[in-house]
Chains A and B, each alone.
Chain A
Amino acid sequence: MSGASMTETLCIIGAWLVTFGAVGAYAASVILRGRRLSKIVPPEQRRWM
């Protein structure tokens, strides 16, 4: 595999990994934060609008 082809492959894989990694990590953090907060907030206040 040539240098240019290697760079291309790495960049393609990198782009997909960055996209899925960043969005997945953010989604996990939001869901975990929601679960943690749900334990603090009383049930009667756990209603969104």
Chain B
Amino acid sequence: MTTTKTESLSTVPAAPTGTGSRGTRVLGAVALLFLVIAVAYGLLISPPDAQLGNTIRIIYMHVPTVMAAYLAFLITAVSSGMYLWKRTEFWDLLGSSAAEIGVLFFAVTIVDGALWGKVTWGVFWRWEPRLTTSAVLLIMYIGYLAVRAIPADPKTRATRCAIIGLVAVVNIPIVHKAVDWWRGLHQGKTVLGTIDPEMGGTQLFAMYSALVAGILVCVWLLIHRFRAGFLAERASDLGLDQALEERRLESSPAQGADS
């Protein structure tokens, strides 16, 4: 009997001691491999661009981070829609996790772009269409995270965030098309447009390996952030349960004394 019990227990996988799993470790290793390739080609092997010179090495970081940010914001939008339909914790957590990662990547995109602007235009920032719409996009998603931080009933908070997640995503095509719709300093579409056809083989390889690395890191981070969020919710529930239990114990002797 004892043997059977031990056997049945041994078949149950041990609870994770963090947010990692075999899947995330494999994904992380593949992402790391692409990052190493991106660093080697982006910084060392690929030659300077005919037009951009060595500043193309900033573009090798700028384009993958904006792609990762767009992916994260799209996941937030889809999750927001799914939350409003299904009303489950999964979609709320996925949407908020993706929004946080999107803000991180998009903030990095803007800083990288500013550094590129300093070399190319002589200034870090210009209020031109692409940059202005990008700033608005970032502020909208920071707003999403700010609303999420406001103490509220979890369902109310999730609904508010889902609505913002659906509204904010409308700005992505505006940012993307800003270079076509309005005259500005920023170069034409690179992401989802044409990566410069004049690029040589090693430059294209550097760009695509950095792109793949960026997307893989984004997905890897999203899985970890989702699991951390899930654990935070459980810890919050435990804290609430404990507080209710303490309150019950505090009130019990008083009730006993009254009776």
- B-binding residues in A (CB < 8 A): 7-9, 11-12, 14-16, 18-19, 22-23, 26-27, 30-31, 33-35, 37-38, 40-49
- Check B234 against A34 for contact (C-beta < 8 Å): no
CB of B118 closer than 8 Å to a CB of A: yes
* Count of inter-chain pairs, beta carbons less than 8 A: 111
- A-binding residues in B (CB < 8 A): 14-20, 39, 42-43, 53-55, 57-58, 61-62, 65, 90, 101, 104-105, 107-108, 111-112, 115-116, 118-119, 217, 221, 224-228, 230-232, 234-235, 238
- Check A31 against B231 for contact (C-beta < 8 Å): no
Chain A contacts for B235, CB-based, 8 A: 37, 40-41
Nearest Cβ distance between residue B103 and chain A, in whole angstroms? 10
Nearest Cβ distance between residue B72 and chain A, in whole angstroms? 12
Q: How far is the CA of A7 from the CA of B17 in the complex (A)?
A: 46
- Check B118 against A7 for contact (C-beta < 8 Å): yes
Q: What does DSSP make chain B's interface, helix, strand, loop or mixed? A: helix
- Check A11 against B119 for contact (C-beta < 8 Å): yes
Chain B contacts for A14, CB-based, 8 A: 115
Nearest Cβ distance between residue B20 and chain A, in whole angstroms? 7
- Check B58 against A15 for contact (C-beta < 8 Å): yes
In the assembled complex, 27 residue pairs joining A and B whose CB atoms fall closer than 8 Å, in A order, are A11-B118, A12-B55, A15-B62, A15-B115, A16-B61, A19-B61, A19-B65, A22-B104, A22-B108, A23-B217, A26-B221, A30-B224, A30-B225, A31-B19, A35-B17, A35-B19, A37-B231, A38-B17, A40-B231, A45-B234, A46-B15, A46-B16, A46-B234, A47-B15, A48-B226, A48-B227, A48-B230
